[in-house]
Amino acid sequence: RYLEFGCEGQAGKIKARTLVEVAASYARGELAQLVQ
């Protein structure tokens, strides 16, 4: 799947975030849930 999107070799750049960090980002308005 990574090959299809040209993302192979990028796994080292991905940083995991805790649920608390994600919830705080939503609370600050940094993230918005988009449904199309």
Q: pLDDT by residue (tens digit) across 3-12?
A: 788 778 888 8
**Percentage with pLDDT > 90 across the chain:** 39
Q: What is the mean pLDDT of residues 28-36?
A: 84
Q: Is the pLDDT at 36 greater than 80, yes or no?
A: no
What distance in Å separates the CA atoms of residue 36 and residue 33, rounded to the nearest whole number? 10
Domain that holds residue 13: 1-36
Indicate the number of domains in the chain. Answer: 1
Q: Is the pLDDT at 1 greater than 70, yes or no?
A: no
Q: What is the pTM of this model?
A: 0.54
List Cα–Cα distances, 12 to 19, 23, 29, 30, in angstroms: 20, 24, 27, 24
